[in-house]
Chains A and B, each alone.
Chain A
């Protein structure tokens, strides 16, 4: 298995544009997490899914953020409209029995 795969690795967009981040979890993992990492706030849990069902989205900062997991092998995190304060590294992770593996992250810059 290639591990958790995220795309794109880097994204630069203008304020107000829609941004979609993608994640392919490890096959067989039943949990998927989206985290945001910044220097100020560290690693924040945005939302997580269990068997494709969203369980807790209390970490999603605003209605501008949404996440979906249409099937066991794909998830998206969408920001619409994007703002400069959304600039961060976004990590996706998948886990099985508590053991989590992370993707390489997407470095988002909103100008």
Chain B
């Protein structure tokens, strides 16, 4: 069974400070990892997926298979980054077949103060 852990429920930083939202996972196969963001009272929307290896809104995330982590980072936080962030895992087996079940962590509420 897969599991996603986001150890911090709340994270507060000041504008311009670096921010790191932690995500650890457990899964015996090859996972695909995602970060979703939910702004106040809106739908969840995809922020990043690890296979894309791109930066969105200044955020990056690197999959570390050794540490089973997929931490989300931004060097200079902005007030508009304040939101709920969810890390999610999509499992694949050794043969590359998707199991389909998308498992989310508990989420981290990021608050960026002016």
Contacts and interface: CB of A to CB of B under 8 A. Distances in A.
Nearest to B106: A42
Q: How large is the interface on B (under 10, 10 to 19, 20 to 34, 35 or more residues)?
A: 20 to 34
Interface string A95-111: 10111111111000000
Contact of A45 (B34, B44, B98, B101): B101
Main secondary structure of the interface of B (DSSP, over half): strand
Main secondary structure of the interface of A (DSSP, over half): strand
Contact of A48 (B34, B44, B86, B100): B100
B46 A100 contact: yes
Interface in A34-85: 35, 42-43, 45, 48, 50, 55-56
A99 B46 contact: yes
B43 A91 contact: yes
Interface of A: 30-31, 33, 35, 42-43, 45, 48, 50, 55-56, 91, 93, 95, 97-105
